[in-house]
Amino acid sequence: METQSGVGMDWISAAPGSDGRQNSGVICRPSLVAVPLRWSGILEKTMPDAPSPLLSSPETARYLGIKPQTLRKWRLTGHGPPYIRLGDSPRSRVAYRLADLEAWGAARTFRSTAAETVAKDGR
């Protein structure tokens, strides 16, 4: 791992993947657990009590297969997955827990359009 000094704190930049390609270049604070998605299984095995990895908005949009603008709109309207505001200002960055994204997706998984209709009517 490569470290860079910021204003009063160190930032950690993830190393290239084992396949030789550059990963998504996740940069995180040491106090937050933010790792590339392909490392999340390793984290669970080596640190079972660790908090769920955090993803930035662009990483979350890629994970969900949507545009970042769609994710912002969902935050505004309350239709998207739960998020964490990383500061007190309305302009502070947001992050998403991987576990929250998986739960949000599981709640929207259906076997048929009929099952989806029944589920929506029951809400």
Q: Is the per-residue pLDDT at 20 higher than 50? A: no
Range of the domain at 65: 2-122
User: What predicted TM-score, i.e. pTM, was given to this entire model?
Assistant: 0.58
Per-residue pLDDT tens over the stretch 95-117: 999 999 999 999 999 999 998 88
Checking if the pLDDT of 68 tops 60, the result is: yes
DSSP letter string, 38-106: GGHHHHHHH-TTSPPPEEEHHHHHHHHTS-HHHHHHHHHHT-S---EESSSSTTS-EEEEHHHHHHHHH
Tens digit of each residue's pLDDT (9 = 90 or more) over 45-56: 666 666 778 999
Question: Number of structural domains, the chain?
Answer: 1
pLDDT at 31: 38
